[in-house]
């Protein structure tokens, strides 16, 4: 006999999810991030990476089955749910299918390591059991910058892992960071990231602007003069260069996150020139930018 909990979901610490999962059931199956070494990120510094126990996960699924019947998507948190061993991850998807039968799609964050640990057959099995989309933090296609931010991977590995997700039939959404190369590598970062995106060919690209977080190594570098952030104009030029070098077969490119100065939404390839024209208009001062006080993570 199942006992349906009344106390609510067992959330711990800071909770983040992609903007597109704003109305999803947020199921926290892990705590923290399995890598948690990126110099720009302070999200999970208060958590040691762990996988939650099955009893807690099932309790949250049962709570959702009672009180979240109008939400037809589930997002698995925290930073890297894909790293959960295959058997346990399949069990979680089984429980979602059994107790939340109205859910149409399950999503999760992933990184290059967790994708590498899953075989292509594993990913196909997960897709057949409901995993419909993975969110991959690419940040940059520039190997120099990847090393500087301690991403723990290379541009080539990111491309291969992204293509592996696509081959398994799972939707792929990647994030890239404007400004992460600093002033010195701004254009190289933009160009190489566009080339990475072209080769990876994800379904969605979300360009965010780097927000310097107190307490992170990159913030310390910034305060001590070792890292220089591009200004508003520099970030627009970087965004333009990135889009100019990005060729997707039928993907969406967004820069409408709250961290950005200029919101762009373009389906590539047909919307590429209009996106470039919009950026050019902003560079000429013909389009206003988001004011500083409205920008946020």
Q: Are 194 and 159 in contact (CB under 8 A)?
A: no
Asked if pLDDT for residue 206 goes beyond 90, the answer is yes
152: left (phi over 0), alpha (psi -120 to 50) or beta: left
Tens of pLDDT, residues 111-166: 999 999 999 999 999 999 999 999 999 999 999 999 999 999 999 999 999 999 99
Asked if pLDDT for residue 101 goes beyond 70, the answer is yes
**What is the C-alpha end-to-end distance of the chain, expressed in Å?**
43
Annotate 68-107 with b (16+ C-beta within 10 A) or e (fewer): beebebbbbbbbbbbbbebeebbbbbebbeebbeebeebb
Over pLDDT 90: what percentage of the chain?
81
Of 56 and 257, the structure prediction assigns the larger pLDDT to: 56
Question: Which of the residue ranges 19-23, 181-185, 240-244 would you say has the lowest mean pLDDT?
Answer: 19-23
Architecture of the domain delimited by 19-283: Alpha-Beta Barrel (3.20)
Cα angle: 198, vertex 152, 139; to 5 degrees: 40
pLDDT in the model for residue 6:
66
Question: Which of the residue ranges 58-72, 113-127, 215-229, 254-268 would you say has the lowest mean pLDDT?
Answer: 254-268
- 22 φ, ψ to 5°? -60, -30
Tens of pLDDT, residues 244-264: 999 999 999 998 888 888 989
pLDDT in the model for residue 153:
96
pLDDT in the model for residue 19:
87
The whole-angstrom separation of Cα 40 and Cα 210 is 8
Of 165 and 3, the structure prediction assigns the larger pLDDT to: 165
Give the residue-averaged pLDDT of 256-282: 92
pLDDT in the model for residue 2:
62
Name the token pair of 24.
């999803």
Q: Are 230 and 186 in contact (CB under 8 A)?
A: yes
Cis peptide before 52 (omega within 30 of 0): no
Distance set, CA 145 to CA 116, 154, 267, 283, 295 (Å) = 21, 10, 27, 26, 24
Closest CA to 164 of 90, 243, 82, 97: 82
Tens of pLDDT, residues 12-54: 888 889 889 999 999 999 998 888 889 999 888 777 889 999 9
pTM: 0.94
Burial of residue 270 (CB within 10 Å: 0-12, 13-18, 19+) is exposed
Q: Taking the CA atoms of the chain, what radius of gyration do you get in angstroms?
A: 20
The whole-angstrom separation of Cα 245 and Cα 196 is 9
**Range 33-38, long-range pairs (CB < 8 A, 24+ positions):** 33/78, 33/79, 33/80, 33/111, 34/79, 34/80, 34/83, 34/111, 34/113, 34/114, 35/79, 35/80, 35/111, 35/113, 35/152, 36/79, 37/150, 37/152, 38/139, 38/149, 38/150, 38/151
Give the residue-averaged pLDDT of 261-276: 94
Asked if pLDDT for residue 5 goes beyond 80, the answer is no
Asked if pLDDT for residue 288 goes beyond 70, the answer is yes
Residues 6+ apart with CB under 8 A from 106: 73, 74, 75, 76, 93, 96, 130, 131, 132
Asked if pLDDT for residue 8 goes beyond 60, the answer is yes
Closest CA to 40 of 159, 209, 201, 211: 211
């Amino acid at each position: 006999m199942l006992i349906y909990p009344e106390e609510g979901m067992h959330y711990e610490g800071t909770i983040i999810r992609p903007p597109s999962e704003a109305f999803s059931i947020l199921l926290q199956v892990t705590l923290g991030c399995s890598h948690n070494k990126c110099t720009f990120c302070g999200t999970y510094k208060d958590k040691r990476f762990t996988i939650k126990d099955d009893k807690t996960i099932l309790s949250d699924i049962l709570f959702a089955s009672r009180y979240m019947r109008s939400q037809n998507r589930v997002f698995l948190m925290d930073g890297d749910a894909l790293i959960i061993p295959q058997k346990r991850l399949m069990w979680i998807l089984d429980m979602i299918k059994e107790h939340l039968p109205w859910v149409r799609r399950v999503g999760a964050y992933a990184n290059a390591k967790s994708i590498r640990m899953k075989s292509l057959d594993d990913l196909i099995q997960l897709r057949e059991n409901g995993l419909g989309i993975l969110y991959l933090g690419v940040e940059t296609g520039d190997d120099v910058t990847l090393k500087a931010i301690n991403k723990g991977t290379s541009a080539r590995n990111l491309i291969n892992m992204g293509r592996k997700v696509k081959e398994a039939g799972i939707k792929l959404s990647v994030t890239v960071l404007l400004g992460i190369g600093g002033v010195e590598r701004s254009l190289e970062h933009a160009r190489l990231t566009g080339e990475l995106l072209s080769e990876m060919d994800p379904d969605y690209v979300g360009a965010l602007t780097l927000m310097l977080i107190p307490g992170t190594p990159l913030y310390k570098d910034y305060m001590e003069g070792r890292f220089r952030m591009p200004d508003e104009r520099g970030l627009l030029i970087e965004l333009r260069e990135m889009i100019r070098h990005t060729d997707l077969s039928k993907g969406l490119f967004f820069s409408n996150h709250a961290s950005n100065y200029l919101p762009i939404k373009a389906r590539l390839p047909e919307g590429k020139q209009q996106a470039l024209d919009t950026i050019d208009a902003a560079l000429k001062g013909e389009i206003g930018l988001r004011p500083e006080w409205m920008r946020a993570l």
